[in-house]
Amino acid sequence: MTTPTRRIALQANELLNLDDARGSTVRVGRGQVWITQYGDLADHILDAGDSWAIERDGRTVLQAQRATIVDVTGPVASRLVVPVAAQQYPSPPFYQLLPPDYPYPLVRVCSTQWGICAIPAGIVPGTPCSCLAAYAGWLPGVCVR
């Protein structure tokens, strides 16, 4: 019996959600991806040639840092439908204040008492951050995910 494998091309900043993918492996053929996994405080950066085994169920999110090709092998490969970006979610500029109930997924979020904003993936949860409001300038917050 062969293990299912799915090759996926991702554009820069494009997301791929892998749900309940324990036992699957991600291998980067070209480019670079940032990976965060539910329940894991550490994020991971994989370059071309690197592989990473998904250790737990829950959501695992991959974000291409530039044009990237990944191979996903294992149980989740046969369930993959489309990359998140292929669903045409908007991508707001970093630090732009958004309403707290913003309906689209964001990889890394700064939360303020006035709303949220997307921030670069390299910022660690718990780190102080700020969002830019058109009417009030910079508003202090904290990275929550």
Phi-psi region of 107 (alpha: psi -120 to 50; beta: other; left: phi over 0): alpha
Domain ranges of the chain: 5-87, 90-145
- Is the Cβ–Cβ distance between 49 and 28 less than 8 Å? yes
In degrees, rounded to 5, the angle at the alpha carbon of residue 33 between the alpha carbons of residues 6 and 87 is: 60
pLDDT reported for residue 100: 84
SS3 86: helix
**pTM tops 0.85:** no
Residue-level length of the chain: 145
Homologous superfamily (CATH) of 5-87 is: Jelly Rolls (2.60.120.10)
Secondary structure of residue 78 in the 3-state scheme: helix
Tokens of 102: 């913003």
So what's the pLDDT on residue 62?
A: 92
Inter-residue contact 143 to 129 (CB < 8 Å): yes
How do the pLDDT tens digits run along the chain, 145 residues long?
Answer: 577 888 888 888 888 889 899 999 999 988 899 999 888 888 899 999 999 999 889 899 999 998 888 999 988 887 876 554 445 567 788 899 998 888 777 888 999 999 999 988 888 899 999 999 988 889 999 998 8
Q: What are phi and psi of 14, to 5 degrees?
A: -75, 145
**Contact assessment for residue 133 and residue 139, using Cβ atoms and an 8 Å cutoff:** yes
